[in-house]
Chains A and B, each alone.
Chain A
Amino acid sequence: MITALAFKNLTLGYDRQAAILDLKTEIAEGSLTAIIGPNGAGKSTLLKGVVGAIAPIKGQILLGALSRENVAYLPQQSEIDRAFPLTVTDLVAMGLWHEIGPFGRIRRDHRARIDTAISAVGLTGLERRLIGTLSGGQVQRALFARLLLQDARLVLLDEPFNSIDARTMADLLNVIQRWHGEGRTILTVLHDTETVRAHFPHTLMLARQLVAHGPTAQVLTAENQFRARQMCEACEGPPHRCGRSVA
């Protein structure tokens, strides 16, 4: 197994409050992994650490051979300004940044790829619509199209299916499957265990510390879930109480 991403004794958090304690595990290249855990388990924080938005308090996050250009990130709450006069095409075209940078021209082959990405997410016909006129699901599709164009080896998705309709979710899951088929490494934070069981071969269960990591069937057990909840509840108090394993 080639390691795409390694966490070495990672303690990560804000303002010196650890959201993740002493995480030690590795993500295989080409794997499709779901990250689950109770609320406050540190899942979003982990992704932010991978993308470089927060620096580790202790330990390391190793990205193997990947550089910033090879990582694509979809945050839980996109900060995109919906009132900005941007069309769907403009938004999706942002994904070409790693190729054309701030000054490059968008050539015909770029346009073709933009159109392909737009149709891959089911937004054909809406190319010239302003993003302010789109529904939540449509914006999410457009953001996925942008991710498609980014063509990254490592894709990080933070709760990509929050508040969107089932049809959109199904379509986007297809895109994820496609990426998986292309050999990309995908990490997705989710809270719906049914979706995880159905579509994600690997799971990493977090409760501020590592609960379990491996094939989904082995990780997603009632026992593990109970343990995870207990670990998180124990950590609701002062930090030094965390880390005591609950039998």
Chain B
Amino acid sequence: MIWDALLQPFADYGFMRRALLGSFAISIGATPVGVFLMLRRMSLTGDAMAHAILPGAAIGYLIAGLSLGAMTIGGLIAGMAVALLSGLVSRVTALREDASLAAFYLISLALGVLIVSTRGSNVDLMHLLFGTVLALDDAALILLCSITSLSVLILAALFRILVLECADPQFLRSVSGLSALTHFIFLMLVVLNLVGGFHALGTLMAVGIMILPAAAARFWATSVGSLVLVAVAVAMFSSLIGLLLSFHYSLPSGPAIILVAGVAYGISLLFGPSGGLIAQAMPRRHSEV
């Protein structure tokens, strides 16, 4: 009976299987990137990026009309430009990464609105640009899986240097010239996962899956590697349960998945052994040197 409730929907319907596959893909690709974003205190990047891609999408629309492909590629270029510029500014000036990103995404958004309005079109670009997990066609699935594979490979290769770059950038700069390159490759990964996620799944799901599981994992794991594993597990679990809730209780799918992740975060916040509220309140035996 439970079996039915859990598995039947996926057995019966192709769209549920694809939704699950797509959600798992983004959980594996984007969530680890989100862990690093969180560690670098850049968790709001996702939201900023959703606005930053507008001029790219607008130009794509101007060139090719209502072609989702053109708008997504345009959005990708705009996102990369914003990420690169803000990274560059934060490296060569005193302005920190969050402030420079805020500056550039706002400029980008304003530019985008301008471009759209001068054309005199009433088409709500943003509305059309963002997909939903229930409408994943083959192209979107291939896009997601490719991004995930690329992301996982790059993250695995850059793991140590990325950890160093987040934990002690000063030290990395003093021993290696790769610091700037790593920084930019990381930003590229962020933009890639986000824009691909927007196209396939919509902003809420793309950003939510990136950040919420990472935040939840913080309360369970004590090393970067285990943070990533726990976060991915939380993301996949939330996807599964969220889709089932959407199926059995007629809830919108994206919000359902993110809310489950949110509940996971709440539980972790309370009961997580590593810094959770209850763990903090309990007296601990110190084994101090």
- Quick check: do A and B touch in the complex, using CB within 8 A? yes
Within 8 Å of chain A (Cβ to Cβ): is B121?
Answer: no
Which residues of A sit under 8 angstroms from B122, Cβ to Cβ?
Answer: none
B 203-234 to A, binary, CB cutoff 8 A, 1 in contact else 0: 00000000000000000011110010000000
A79–B167 Cα distance when bound, in Å, is: 8
Given contacts A69-B175, A97-B175, A103-B160, contact A78 B167 (CB under 8 A): no
Which residues of B sit under 8 angstroms from A102, Cβ to Cβ?
Answer: 158, 160-161, 176, 178
Within 8 Å of chain B (Cβ to Cβ): is A81?
Answer: yes
A85 x B224 contact (CB < 8 A): yes
Given contacts A85-B227, A103-B157, A125-B289, contact A98 B166 (CB under 8 A): no
Within 8 Å of chain A (Cβ to Cβ): is B8?
Answer: no
Task: With both chains docked as a complex, state the minimum distance between the C-beta of A6 and any C-beta of chain B, in angstroms.
Answer: 21
Task: With both chains docked as a complex, state the minimum distance between the C-beta of A243 and any C-beta of chain B, in angstroms.
Answer: 29
B175 x A80 contact (CB < 8 A): no
Within 8 A of B (CB), among A77-100: 78-81, 84-87, 90-91, 94, 97-98
Given contacts A103-B157, A130-B222, contact A81 B175 (CB under 8 A): no
Which residues of A sit under 8 angstroms from B223, Cβ to Cβ?
Answer: 85-87, 90
Which residues of A sit under 8 angstroms from B171, Cβ to Cβ?
Answer: 80, 94, 146
A-B contact count (CB 8 A): 61
A80 x B176 contact (CB < 8 A): no
Which residues of A sit under 8 angstroms from B221, Cβ to Cβ?
Answer: 85
Within 8 Å of chain A (Cβ to Cβ): is B9?
Answer: no
Task: With both chains docked as a complex, state the minimum distance between the C-beta of A90 and any C-beta of chain B, in angstroms.
Answer: 8
Given contacts A102-B158, A103-B157, A125-B289, contact A81 B166 (CB under 8 A): yes
A53–B171 Cα distance when bound, in Å, is: 11
A71–B157 Cα distance when bound, in Å, is: 27
A78 x B170 contact (CB < 8 A): yes
B168 x A68 contact (CB < 8 A): no
A97–B166 Cα distance when bound, in Å, is: 15
Determine the interface band of chain B, counting residues with CB < 8 A from chain A: 20 to 34
B174 x A73 contact (CB < 8 A): yes
Contact of A68 among B161, B164, B175, B224 (CB under 8 A): B175
A 112-137 to B, binary, CB cutoff 8 A, 1 in contact else 0: 00000000000101100010000000
- In this complex, what residue of B is CB-closest to A130? B222
Which residues of A sit under 8 angstroms from B158, Cβ to Cβ?
Answer: 102
- In this complex, what residue of B is CB-closest to A82? B167
Which residues of A sit under 8 angstroms from B163, Cβ to Cβ?
Answer: 86, 90
Within 8 A of A (CB), among B159-218: 160-161, 163-164, 166-171, 173-176, 178
B289 x A81 contact (CB < 8 A): no
Given contacts A85-B221, A85-B222, contact A80 B174 (CB under 8 A): no
Within 8 Å of chain A (Cβ to Cβ): is B66?
Answer: no
A91–B163 Cα distance when bound, in Å, is: 11
Which residues of A sit under 8 angstroms from B62, Cβ to Cβ?
Answer: none
Interface pairs (26), CB distance under 8 Å: A51-B174, A53-B173, A68-B174, A68-B175, A73-B174, A75-B170, A78-B170, A79-B168, A81-B39, A81-B168, A85-B222, A85-B224, A85-B227, A86-B223, A86-B224, A87-B223, A90-B223, A94-B168, A94-B171, A97-B175, A98-B175, A102-B176, A103-B157, A103-B160, A130-B222, A146-B171
8 closest Cβ contacts across the A-B interface? A102-B161, A84-B167, A79-B170, A80-B168, A97-B175, A73-B174, A102-B160, A85-B222
Q: Which residues of B contact A (CB under 8 A)?
A: 39, 157-158, 160-161, 163-164, 166-171, 173-176, 178, 221-224, 227, 289
Given contacts A81-B168, A84-B39, A90-B223, 17 further A-B contacts (CB under 8 A): A68-B174, A73-B174, A79-B170, A80-B170, A84-B167, A85-B223, A86-B224, A90-B163, A91-B167, A94-B164, A97-B175, A97-B176, A102-B158, A102-B160, A103-B160, A125-B289, A146-B171
